[in-house]
């Protein structure tokens, strides 16, 4: 059984997960506009991951007898200057999401809601991976100076990315 306040907080997190997907599709559009189909694919797959994150909250709220409420999404940024900027923003965005997940965990601890603490553990681990993926790509892009052969090689690598539902 979840408190009303907890249901509200979890519903808000659905919004953030869906917004992450929205933001990444916008980044995919920028990459596609530069003919970087591999980078576009990376963000298209990332959007599927974010939907998975959102739906995990959706099912948890339902399982616990709460009502899911879908809240409107904000307009994501659409004008990007470079691939480096895109990955810098993606990395910063993941840090923001990590902070939100940690705040949720703090609240679950405060409420002595053990079930939600156990549920959120998965997200805490997932965020370590999410931040690391974005930072690693940002560093690689910086390493090759954001252009040339290196970028084409990375693009080829990222074209292979496929969606595999993360282990529950």
| Binding residue (CB under 6 A) for ligand OFO from 47, 50, 113, 155 | 50
Binders of ligand OFO: how many residues, by CB under 6 A? 7
- Nearest residue to 32 via CA among 22, 21, 41, 45: 41
* 130 is a site residue for ligand OFO (CB under 6 A): yes
The conformational region for residue 112 under phi > 0 = left, psi -120 to 50 = alpha, else beta, is: left
Nearest distance, CB of residue 130 and ligand OFO, angstroms: 4
Residue keyed to tokens 């709460």? 66
Query: From CA 42, how far away is CA 162, in angstroms rounded?
Result: 8
Q: Which is nearer to ligand OFO, 101 or 141 (CB)?
A: 101
Which distant-in-sequence residues (6+ apart) come within 8 Å of 76 by Cβ?
19, 22, 23, 25, 26
Per-residue string for binding with ligand OFO, 4-43, x by CB under 6 A?
-------------x--x-----------------------
Give the binding site for ligand OFO (CB under 6 A). Answer: 17, 20, 50, 53, 94, 97, 130
């Amino acid at each position: 059984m979840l408190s009303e306040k907890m249901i509200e907080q979890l519903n808000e997190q659905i919004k953030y997960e869906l917004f992450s997907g929205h933001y990444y599709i916008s980044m995919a559009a920028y990459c596609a506009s530069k003919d970087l189909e591999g980078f576009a694919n990376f963000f298209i797959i990332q959007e599927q991951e974010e939907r998975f994150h959102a739906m995990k909250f959706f099912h948890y709220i339902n399982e616990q007898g709460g009502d899911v409420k879908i809240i409107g999404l904000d307009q994501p940024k659409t004008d990007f200057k470079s691939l480096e900027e895109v990955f810098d923003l993606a990395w910063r965005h993941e840090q923001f999401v990590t902070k939100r997940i940690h705040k949720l965990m703090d609240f679950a601890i405060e409420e002595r809601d053990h079930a939600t603490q156990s549920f959120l553990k998965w997200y805490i681990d997932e965020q370590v991976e999410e931040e690391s993926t974005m930072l690693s790509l940002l560093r690689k892009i910086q390493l090759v100076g954001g252009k040339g052969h290196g970028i084409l090689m990375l693009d080829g690598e990222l074209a292979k990315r496929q969606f595999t539902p993360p282990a529950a």
